[in-house]
Amino acid sequence: MVSLIQKSSLKLLLLGFGIVALLSSMLASMLLGIHIFDVHTLWLSITQFNGSQEHLVLRGVRIPAACIAAVVGANLAIAGALMQTLTKNPLASPSVFGINAGAVMFIVLSLSVFKVDLPFEQMIYIAFAGAAITAVMVITLGSAGKEGFMPVKLTLAGAAIAAFASSVTSGLMLLNNDSLTEALFWLVGAVYGREMSELLTVLPYMLVGWIIVAFMFRPLNVMAIGDDVAKGLGQRTMLTKIAIMVVVILLAGSSVALAGPIAFIGIIVPHICRYLIGNDHKWLIPFCAVAGALLLVSADTAARFLLMPKEVPVGVTTALLGVPFLIVIARRRTYE
């Protein structure tokens, strides 16, 4: 398979361009919406916060939304790329670990057990715990049995547990209608309505994930060739696999805690990046991070204009924006 761009200098240029695009789209996301602000107001709201309504909107809604969208988009894209490398299945994404479904199930479960609206800070921890517990369960089941850890088994166990969790979720939701509206948020995913402090709560986990992945480019490249080859080359494959799984749980778990289950980015962005710059993880992971962030931020901004004055959950727009890309790329590449 030959990627579109071969030269390292061109890749670097493209990455730089991507970062610039990301920053400008974040800026646009802070400024545009029902109320349109100018850069000066934005600057003033950060440096000289005066409590006016404009400043409140900017600091309380727009800036957190842009930052969360960027972080979550990057996380999901990286996690997707890692999952595809780990399972050698192009259809794999963080949701295959049951992370989304597990987090949502725990949220809805706690909503219907406690019958009160929990503060979001606690919600985030519940979602995170749910994501981690399901992921660990999937991994244990996927590596149990005679043959030990096998990507196919892992994938299947993940799909089964995800199906189980989402069916429990919809059962609970249908049983008590009260929690329905609250839970609907967790079914579609969105980046608005969150505060900076909530981002800061989960940021440490994300940082750990990013740092681990930064040290793993070479083992990832070896792992992508195949388990047997990796073993033959002297890689401790089990260690690499565990590291990948830890990173995926950290990144995807914190993302789902922040923004709910935003599908699609984890599948589509790695595919687009592989097409552009190839399979070398040294390039792939940074590209995925930038492209994922860019896609989610611009999708979130676009979402505000779709159904004014209502806000459309960003999951809707990511899909509508991403599909044409996906079709073009899938048609361009030759398989088999």
Partner 1 sequence: MNKQITVRSTKSVFSTQLSSKGIRVIALLMMLVAITSVVSISIGSMQIPLRDVIAVLFGAHHDMYSIIILDLRLPRTLLAIMIGAALAVSGTLLQGVIRNPLASPELTGVTGGASVAAVAFMTLGSGQWSIHWIPLIAIIGGMIIAMLNYICAWKGGVSPYRLVLIGIGFSTAMSALTTFLLISGPAFLASQVLGWMTGTIYGLSMDYVWVILPWFCIFMPLSLLLARVLNVHLLGDSVACGVGNTVQRHRLLLLFISVALSGAAVGVAGGISFIGLMAPHIARKLVGPLHGVLIPVSALIGALLLLVADMAGRTVFSPTEIPAGVFTAAIGAPFFLLLLYKGRSSTA
**Contacts with partner 1, residue ranges (CB under 8 A):** 89-92, 96, 141-142, 144-147, 152-153, 155-157, 159-161, 163-164, 166-168, 170-171, 173-175, 177, 180-181, 184, 188, 263-264, 267-268, 271, 306-307, 310, 312-313, 315-320, 322-323, 326-327, 330-331, 333-336
Comparing CB distances to partner 1, the nearer of 121 and 178 is: 178
b/e string for 91-101 if b means 16 or more Cβ within 10 A?
ebbbbbbbbbb
Comparing CB distances to partner 1, the nearer of 40 and 331 is: 331
| The length of the chain, given as a count of residues | 336
CB of 105 to partner 1, least distance (A): 11
Comparing CB distances to partner 1, the nearer of 145 and 204 is: 145
Query: How many whole angstroms separate alpha carbon 2 and alpha carbon 194?
Result: 42
CB of 322 to partner 1, least distance (A): 7
Q: What angle do CA 212, 214, 335 make, to 5 degrees?
A: 110
Comparing CB distances to partner 1, the nearer of 228 and 336 is: 336
CB of 205 to partner 1, least distance (A): 27
Query: How many whole angstroms separate alpha carbon 253 and alpha carbon 246?
Result: 10
CB of 267 to partner 1, least distance (A): 6
CB 22 within 8 A of CB 297: yes
Comparing CB distances to partner 1, the nearer of 59 and 88 is: 88
Residue from 19, 40, 17, 37 nearest 28 by CA: 37
Residue type, 202: V
Largest Cα–Cα separation, the chain: 65
Per-residue CA distances from 11 to 207, 229, 286 (Å): 25, 28, 11
Query: How many whole angstroms separate alpha carbon 191 and alpha carbon 189?
Result: 7
Comparing CB distances to partner 1, the nearer of 179 and 254 is: 179
Comparing CB distances to partner 1, the nearer of 134 and 201 is: 134
CB of 258 to partner 1, least distance (A): 19
CB of 142 to partner 1, least distance (A): 8
CB of 204 to partner 1, least distance (A): 31
Provide DSSP, 43-109.
Answer: HHHHHS----HHHHHIIIIIHHHHHHHHHHHHHHHHHHHHHHHHH--TT--GGGGTHHHHHHHHHHH
